Amino acid sequence: MQEQNFYPAGLWRRFRAFVIDFTIIFFVTSLIFYLSRPIISNRYLDIALMATLFTTFCLYNSLLISLFGTTVGKKILCIKVETVAGGKVSIWRSLLREVILKPLSIALFNVGNLISIITHDRHTIHDKISKTRVVLTKSTANNKQQGKVRWWRYPLFVLLVFACFNIEIFSSTYAINVFFKVFQTASCGIESTEPDTISMHFLTIIEKGVQIDKVAIKNSLEEAYNYTFWLIASTATETTKTTVCIYKSPKIWEDIKHFYKVEGWALGFFHPYNKSIFFSPDFLNLSPELQKEAIYHEVSHYILDNYLLMNNYEYLWTVPMWFHEGLSQTLQGKYYTNFDYYAAYITPTHYKPWELMKDYNAIDENFTTNDYYVESYLIFNFLTKTFGEDLFKNTISKAIELNIPFKSALEQTTQKQFSELEQEWLDSLKGK
């Protein structure tokens, strides 16, 4: 094709092609992520999702453009990518264009793409630097005439840049939240009743056919929300609305547990990946009071995890599980109806050192799950009784403010070494 005979593709046509291509990319990414989910650590789920999406995006565009000069979306819209001389784009030029330059064009409020509105050859920034162009195919070009840049394209360019700026600024508080609400709703994997229970901070998805007091559930969720913040922070903080899923079908419940790698029996669990809380069919068989306790337990996990993430706490992994569980059981009052019976088993000769209590690996054949929960509560209760109810509120505040590990923050707040605190707790067990 001679230089004077090529017809550049306009931004609107290129955008429609992009929408088609991204739909395909998103589908492929979802499939890859779903199949690889069992081998991905929960801690790296968000990173894995973004890495998969970016890799799929780059490979899809780079390979198709270098091999065929077009993608599925571009083919449908009758456009192709070629060098400025009209030749085939090499794999290296394609990688440069799609992996490095195109993200840069989007980065600053999409100016790199929008500039094509006011350029005579409709080039974007990544077109110019990579020395490529996006043109109409011959059959379509025959029906087009190359015109001059019209005056109205300049104010349109300014208007669209302003619009993109506002979209990027407000998307984090509106559009992205809407997307994740839809994603969270779908994550329950159940057909729900209508209407769903919606409170200020929770969207409750209840499996169809379940008979439950929705008002009581709503009130318990909001009470747990406020009570948790009262224990860990000076003031309640607005958080993204989270989803609560309540199941009736044992089969669906087992599928959900398998998907999120939850082993053994569980009344409910909170999962940090999609910020959702799940309750089993056994939850429905509990009395209203015990349902309330279970809600308090799981909501406290969600609030603590989300609060620390919202404050960009880099040492989230240092917050021990005995603190998570101790907080949960403090919210409930006492985790077990016959708590004193179980508490009697935690003695100076039957306990786990605090260092081992940092995660659930402390549980073994000689130290049961009941033992773990009860010891967590006893540690939490001892520290708050000794140093006051504001102890952990101050500890978390110091940990976030100084960005230090939880253990260091606790030592600074109490003015005592971790080992001293543990010894004093053991001494308290002797006088139980």
The residues with which 132 forms a beta bridge, in sequence order, are: 83
CA 62 to chain centre: 29
Tokens 């080992």 -> residue: 419
Task: Answer whether 331's CB lies under 8 Å from 232's CB.
Answer: no
In tens digits, what is the pLDDT along the chain, a chain of 432 residues?
344 567 888 888 888 888 888 888 888 888 887 777 656 654 566 677 788 888 898 899 999 999 999 998 888 888 899 998 888 999 999 998 888 888 888 776 677 777 877 777 788 888 888 899 988 886 655 555 444 445 555 565 566 555 655 554 444 444 444 444 444 444 566 655 554 556 678 888 888 777 888 888 888 888 888 888 887 876 655 666 788 888 888 888 888 888 777 877 888 888 876 678 899 999 999 888 888 888 888 888 888 888 888 888 888 888 999 998 888 888 776 444 455 666 677 888 889 999 999 888 888 888 988 889 889 988 998 998 899 888 888 999 899 889 999 999 999 999 999 999 999 999 888 765
Q: What are phi and psi of 264, to 5 degrees?
A: 75, -175
Please report the pLDDT score of residue 71 as a whole number: 92
Domain 191-430 has CATH 1.10.390: yes
Quote the pTM value: 0.56
- The domain ranges of the chain are 3-171, 191-430
pLDDT at 92: 92
pLDDT digits (tens, 9 = 90+) for 187-209: 566 655 554 556 678 888 888 77
Beta bridge partners of 82: 133
CA dist., res. 87 & res. 422, Å (int) = 73
pLDDT confidence of residue 198: 63
- SS3 sequence of the chain: CCHHHCCECCHHHHHHHHHHHHHHHHHHHHHHHHHHHHHCCHHHHHHHHHHHHHHHHHHHHHHHHHHHCCCHHHHHCCEEEEECCCCCCCHHHHHHHHHHHHHHHHHCCCHHHHHHHCCCCCCCHHHHHHCEEEEECHHHHCCCCCCCCCCCHHHHHHHHHHHHHHHHHHHCCCHHHHHHHHHHHHHCCCCECCCCEECCCEEEEEECCCCCCHHHHHHHHHHHHHHHHHHHCCCCCCCCCEEEEECCCHHHHHHHHHHCCCCCCCCEEEECCCCEEEECHHHHCCCHHHHHHHHHHHHHHHHHHHHHHHCCCCCHHHCCHHHHHHHHHHHHCCCCCCHHHHHCCCECCECCCCCHHHCHHHCECCECHHHHHHHHHHHHHHHHHHHCCCHHHHHHHHHHHHCCCHHHHHHHHHCCCHHHHHHHHHHHHHCC
Distance CA 375, CA 323 (A): 10
pLDDT in tens, 237-287: 566 678 888 888 888 888 888 877 787 788 888 887 667 889 999 999 988
Angle at 164 between CA 77 and CA 9, to 5 degrees: 25
